[in-house]
Structure 1
Amino acid sequence: MLIGVSFLPLTVCAQQEAAWHTHIPEPAGGRPAPERPPFYRSVFPSKHVLIDAGHGGIDGGTSYGDILEKNINLAIARKLYLLLKARGVPVILNRTGDYALSDDNRWSGARSRHSKDLAQRRQLSREVPVSMFISLHVNWSRSPRATGPLVLHQNEGRSRLLASLLQDSLNPLFSTRTLPQHGKTYYLLKHVDQPAVIVELAYLSNAKDRRMLTDPRSQTAIAARLCDAIVHYHAIY
């Protein structure tokens, strides 16, 4: 459900990393994806930041013991939503609880749930006026020493700028100097029309990162850094 707007047919949860590379077939029978009805323009008179809270429901994402990525993504997404609202930034959160959103997709010809999720998430960015698309995730590495955030961007100037602002804002929290990367193989970064980024917030496989990802105060600090970068971007564009 889109937070604050219960009648919209929404949308997506993120996938396991391999699913980001999935090819999405066109709708069966030549049926096009639904177009935005005229009333959307009056309901959403301005462009919104679209926060994609990764995973949800049956799709837990990566995990460590009983710690699930989907819950971390949602907790930080909620905090980011409230911080942006408090600063007057139009914002949409596409998942407000622990549920899968693939069932909202009844138009895609894709057979797999992952593919329907990807197609539905992309479709939301076309149904609602969006200024940017920010997908929140948690990373994992075989090396427990891997640490800190990583922001993936499109091959597009505005997306690169947004990714740089987000990366520079998050790095000090983790004492890292990571640079954003081009997520060239990621389906959404290739097919979302607006500036889009995937934010890997930190590594669940790293003990220090894990403490930050699961601590409410640290979650708020992460959300605040994301909020600052988004406001900075809006001051430029």
Structure 2
Amino acid sequence: MILIDAGHGGIDGGTSYGKVLEKDITLELSRRLFLLLRSDGFDAILNRNGDYAPSDENRWLRSSSRHLRDLAQRKELAETLPANVVVSIHINWAPSPSKHGPLVLYRQEGRSFMLAQSIQSQLNNLYQANADPRQGKPFYLLNKITATTVIVEAGFISSPSDRAKLCSKLGQQEIAEAIANGISAYLMEI
């Protein structure tokens, strides 16, 4: 099973540019990715289908940190399903508008690296970029989920060219297709 983790949500808007919020873009990309994977016959599930934070559903972790409850709920869903592959969708930001392109982060584990390479390659083709996936050491999801897990930073909201792609229906579809193709290629390799 493939768990698509639509980053942020609800009170947690993620990064932003003006009125454009990461949580809205990640949800739209995740919905499109979910539909593509399901139409290709993959067993996929979406962690949220509306504008709410997974921490709203976490009644079991006694922590005053909404952020920690949110991350713990995402991990718990991955473990409970159980998911074989987890793809967490996010949007990047940088102080310089010239920084652009996709980045896939992986956990220090062979299958996660292979999945990250596959998705990064597809996104590089779309963005005409030449980035390598990077190990995402400090990230909770990459450290806590035991399934093959990657975080996809689908582009920089701070970059005018990336933002145009991230905010248009065509661009969102192309990004979702690139991620789906990367997941599909990975699953055919293993």
Q: 2:61 aligns with which of 108, 120, 137?
A: 108
Provide the TM-score with structure 1 as the length reference: 0.79
Provide the TM-score with structure 2 as the length reference: 0.98
Secondary structure, aligned partner of 2:84 = strand
Amino acid at match of 1:212: K
Report the CA distance between 1:129 and its aligned residue: 2.0
How many Å separate the matches in 2 of 1:110 and 1:178?
Answer: 37
Q: Counterpart in 2 of 1:216?
A: 169
Q: Counterpart in 1 of 2:179?
A: 226
1:28-56 CA-to-partner distances (Å, cap 9, x unmatched) read: xxxxxxxxxxxxxxxxxxxx100000111
Name whichever structure is richer in helix by fraction.
2
Secondary structure, aligned partner of 1:134 = strand
Report the CA distance between 1:231 and its aligned residue: 0.9
Secondary structure, aligned partner of 1:57 = coil
Aligned pairs for 1:136-215 within 5 A: 136-215=89-168
Secondary structure, aligned partner of 1:130 = coil
- 2:50 equivalent to 1:124: no
Amino acid at match of 1:204: I
Amino acid at match of 1:157: G
Q: 1:63 aligns with which of 16, 19, 27?
A: 16
Secondary structure, aligned partner of 1:135 = strand
Secondary structure, aligned partner of 2:53 = coil
Count of aligned positions? 190
Secondary structure, aligned partner of 2:35 = helix
1:40-93 CA-to-partner distances (Å, cap 9, x unmatched) read: xxxxxxxx1000001111111111111011000000100000000110000000
Q: Counterpart in 1 of 2:2?
A: 49
- 2:62 equivalent to 1:83: no
How many Å separate the matches in 1 of 2:174 and 2:56?
Answer: 33
Q: Which runs of no fewer than 5 residues in structure 2 stay unpaired?
A: none
How many Å separate the matches in 1 of 2:83 and 2:72?
Answer: 16
Q: Counterpart in 2 of 1:3?
A: none
How many Å separate the matches in 1 of 2:53 and 2:185?
Answer: 32
Q: Which runs of no fewer than 5 residues in structure 1 stay unpaired?
A: 1-47
Amino acid at match of 2:94: S
How many Å separate the matches in 2 of 1:80 and 1:125?
Answer: 17
Larger radius of gyration: 1
